[in-house]
A and B are shown apart, each in its own frame.
Chain A
Amino acid sequence: MTVSLRPRNSVNPKSSQNLPTFNNKSNTGSLPAFASGPKLTGARTLAVEKLNKNFGSTSILKDISFEIEEGEFVCFLGPSGCGKTTLLLCLAGLESPSSGEIYKNGQAITSEPPSQRDVGIVFQSYALFPNLSVYDNIAFGLVNLKWAKDKIREAVRGLVSLLSLEGHEDKYPSQLSGGQQQRVALARALAVSPSLLLLDEPLSALDAQVRTRLRSEIRDLQQRLKITTVMVTHDQEEAQTLADRIVLLNEGRIEQIGTPWQIYNEPATPFVADFMGVSNLIQGVISAPNQVSCDQFSLLCDTQGHPVGTRVQLLLRPEDIACASPPRNAPTNLLEATIAKIEYLGAVVRAHVVSATGLKLKVDISKREFDPARHAVAQRLSLTIASNDVRLFAQ
């Protein structure tokens, strides 16, 4: 075959590591290998510059700028109403931005209509042609390109086997399950070998199990075809497992761009910290260099040179609070607390604790450390928090 299986570009293993450019003030030492992003050629295939979008007086997108490399999988992540779908539609040419430019391989394409953009698009609602069979749906774009019949047949056969749709070619969309319909939509988008694949919450309408399976299939497919892909999602887990890089949006602005590892471990703002996973956010004031006082209780942490008296917010991940032996190689905070509530989440047990000073924290206890006798409501715990696990946001 086949159009769609041909690699878009070869991976160059010697290309320079693409070091994170955002929030590189980490004090965790050298980054793990997977944290540094994909090994890519470095060719910028798509660039967005100062994009704004207004509907009447409400502004949906504010000064959006970023770049996407060839072969990269980028997720637009954010709560509903943050503008991520509008941004995707701007890339597709289905929405026109109020100002700003979109470049593809260095050429401005901002005013090019969708049909000239060479994109494949997949929607949450599948948007399959209800009156056409699976075969005709997949072949639809190829017929537009006036391909010969046997060439189309060959290409469709390749896509059908690629997306494990064998035996369904003659069925109509309403005869298929949601997962199968979304595969057909993917096959239809991939058939014309677009240079950019846009996915608008493609998994949100599916049930949990199908979603997880199709998620890993999409990732495998993208890796095999090396097709530059942008996906919109509101599910942080989905973004973390799929994306090479995440563009995190909130109220029309970019909060942070980075690899899933960076976004989780080095959040740029309290919003990012809160949005990604579970967090304890504590208000405080810097009382001395590398010391923050929060409500009759003070915490050692890296204050990043901010002057004494600065109001700050501290992020403590529940899994970074230990209730056993203190970690060795960093200054450590000790805290006495009482368990108020226990939640069994499977792999971990989450304890909601209250310190003697009234500070409320969520603490994760791994299944292996969990001791039902010691970790019960009203029991006292000694908590240790390594100073380098505390993340500080100056306000």
Chain B
Amino acid sequence: MSAQSLRGLNAFLFAHSKPQLMERSDWLMRWVCLAYCVAALCTIVLPVGALFLRSLNNADGAYVGLQNYLTYFSASALFDSFLNSLIVSLVTATLVVPMAFAYAYGLLRTCMPFKPFFRGVALIPLLIPGVLKAIALVYLFGNQGLLREWLFGHPLYGPIGIVGASVIWTFPFAVLIMLTALQHVDQRLYHAAAVLKTSVWRTFWHVTWPSCRYGVTTAFLVVTVSVFTDFGIAKVIGGDFRVLATDIYKEVVGQQNFQMGAVISVMLLIPAFVVFLLERQVAGKQMAQFTGRSLPFTPKPSVWRDGVFLGWCLTVTLLIASVLAMSQFASLVKFWPYNLSLTLDHYAFQIEGVGWINFGNSLWMATLAASFGTLIVFIGAYVVEKGRRDAWLRKFLQLLMLLPMAIPGLVLGLAYLIFINAPGNPAGWLYGGMAILVISTVTHLYSVPHLTCLTALKGLDREIESVGLSLNTPVTRMLTQVTLPVCLAALLDVWLYIFLCAMTTLSTVIFLYAPDTKLASIAVIHIDETGRVASAAAMAMLLVYVCLAVRLVHYLIAQKVLRKFQPWRSFE
């Protein structure tokens, strides 16, 4: 763009506001803000728009209005999947939320021992790809599983398997949300209740419950929508039980029926979007409850209560440990269940189209996504939070940045597929390359890191920027001397989050890979399809090991290295 057209654009957009008090940094932020809006338009709004349009077209690309939707609702098999998805996700949420509540309650409100250990255990499922949890369940409860009698003859493949694997998969999300909710309570309320001679139950319903009910609601919504939109678990352990996510996959990959895939995607998108809106509203209410001056809760020991919660946390630990151990064992056993001798053969991946190269691809893709993603997310959050001018533009950008949270990965992936292959799209060359995998993954994961960065930036007083301005500090110096060092810990967290999620991501990239950019998570699905479950487990275990190793390195850097080079942290 020429300088003149830039000036014209500026005049058009900001004609109503007086060009008063604009620092050079304000101009810079305005243009960065606009660039982000354009980028968000290209990576979110336009692809999803293309998906919508496709759902209104027939196979030849002619506009047919709502014809596809009518077909969808009249085909009872297709609509059954919708109900199946709904039931499975609601059942999972109903199971997980009380489990997580009790677990988090044990961690925060009792005096049971080994709390840091249990806190770590709860997060382990985050490091295990969902598909692997399903495979572990197959080895535990499948037709030839160790504990198959426990199901009393009911088949694992189908709703039971999906719910089981989903419970383990979503447990850490629910625990994290419950931990936050239970943390924010004022001990003085408990003191007041005790002074007024309130019974334990009355105290629970009138003090504990009101302080965490929004957390419970949020956890329920998050779990429901995660399971509703998940693809991998249903694919591996769903059997003949149809859900929306596998339907989309079958329509698109099996029958090349893009318009029906688009219709089902919309059916997936709408509930996810509604839940997103609900969740945002609930989160706002939760925030309004906090006051800065609350006294943090410190529990008093009680033998029977501490014992009960210790028992519960041990049970969950055992469950998670057995899943992890079973996965490892499955990948090492020669021929389950007939030859239980151990071998590393399954790690050789002698299957066509699959190999260690997929693992390398995953590593490379996750590293790229985490590194570029962290940079992009931080700059975006900086502009939104620290900008002084153009409040409406920054609000709009903030809205765009939360949007990915509302879009299921599978829907975003299909939207990218349709958008990028649309005739005349100048970005068409991206299709099949590594870049499109990185872009789609970063877009899909964008919202949570964005919120993390916002929180970190909010921790740095707005007035600090004012001081910087009054001292005539260039924006680059402010950034490198103050803002970046202070936010470094949060940036490391963001890097880790994107890396871990990118390593195990499946639904976003399943439509977008090419043979030479196939990721390990996709390879797991493909190996599983050939029936060599042990090799699938082996490939998934590789991901687990990388995730564990990276998590460890992150811990060392965040705890030791950062403290050493940023001595001020130890006085916080």
A interface list, Cβ under 8 A from B: 92-94, 96, 110-117, 119-121, 123, 125, 127-133, 140-141, 144-145, 172-175, 188-189, 192, 194
Contacts and interface: CB of A to CB of B under 8 A. Distances in A.
A46 to B, nearest CB: 15
Contacts of B473: 115, 140-141, 144
Contacts of A94: 21, 388, 466, 469-470
Contacts of A141: 471-473
Contacts of B467: 121, 123, 127, 188-189
Nearest to A96: B20
Given A115-B23, A117-B470, A192-B471, A174 B572 contact: yes
B464 interface: yes
7 contacts: A92-B466, A93-B469, A94-B469, A114-B469, A117-B470, A144-B471, A175-B571
A120 B470 contact: yes
Contact of A115 (B470, B485, B571): B470
A9 B120 CA distance: 65
B7 interface: no
Given A116-B472, A174-B571, 7 more contacts: A113-B22, A114-B21, A131-B482, A131-B566, A140-B481, A141-B471, A141-B473
B469 A113 contact: yes
Contacts of B21: 93-94, 96, 111-114
Contacts of A123: 461, 463, 466-467
B293 to A, nearest CB: 14
B474 interface: yes
Interface string B539-572: 0000000000000000000000000001110011
Interface string B448-482: 00000000000011011011011111100100011
Nearest to A172: B568
Nearest to A185: B467
Interface residues of B, number: 30
**For the complex, would chain A's binding face be called helix, strand, loop or mixed by DSSP majority?**
loop
A92 B466 CA distance: 9
Contacts of B16: none
B486 interface: yes
Contact of B482 (A120, A132, A133): A132
Nearest to A93: B21
The 5 A-B pairs with the shortest beta carbon distances in the complex, nearest first, are A141-B471, A127-B463, A115-B472, A172-B568, A96-B20
A222 B273 CA distance: 59
A377 to B, nearest CB: 35
Contacts of B191: none
Nearest to B473: A144
B197 interface: no
Contacts of A133: 568
Contacts of B300: none
Contacts of A145: 472
Contacts of A117: 470
Interface of B: 18-23, 26, 388, 460-461, 463-464, 466-467, 469-474, 477, 481-482, 485-486, 566-568, 571-572
A114 B470 contact: yes
Contacts of A129: 464, 481-482
Contacts of B566: 131
B102 to A, nearest CB: 37
Contacts of B572: 130, 174
A125 B469 contact: no
A362 to B, nearest CB: 34
Nearest to B462: A127
B117 to A, nearest CB: 30
A94 B469 CA distance: 9
Contacts of B460: 130
A132 B471 contact: no
Given A112-B21, A129-B482, A130-B486, A144 B571 contact: no
A114 B20 CA distance: 11
Contacts of B567: 172
B23 A131 contact: no
Contacts of B464: 127-129
Contacts of A175: 571
Contacts of A194: 470
Contacts of B472: 115-116, 141, 144-145, 192
Given A96-B18, A114-B21, A130 B470 contact: no
B469 A130 contact: no
Contacts of B485: 131
Contacts of B571: 172, 174-175
Nearest to A171: B571
Contacts of A111: 18-21
Contacts of A119: 470
A115 B469 contact: yes
A304 to B, nearest CB: 44
A119 B566 CA distance: 31
Contacts of A121: 466-467, 470
A113 B461 contact: no
B562 to A, nearest CB: 11
Contacts of A115: 23, 469-473
A136 to B, nearest CB: 8
A110 B20 contact: yes
A170 B453 CA distance: 29
A93 B466 CA distance: 10
A175 B467 CA distance: 21
Contacts of B20: 96, 110-111
Nearest to B464: A127
A172 B461 CA distance: 16
A119 B18 CA distance: 23
Contacts of A116: 472
Contacts of B474: 144
A300 B435 CA distance: 90
Name the residue in A92, A113, A117 with the highest tally of chain B Cβ atoms < 10 Å from its Cβ.
A113
Contacts of A96: 18, 20-21
B23 A125 contact: no
A96 B388 CA distance: 11
Nearest to B474: A144
A127 B182 CA distance: 31
B482 A125 contact: no
B391 to A, nearest CB: 11
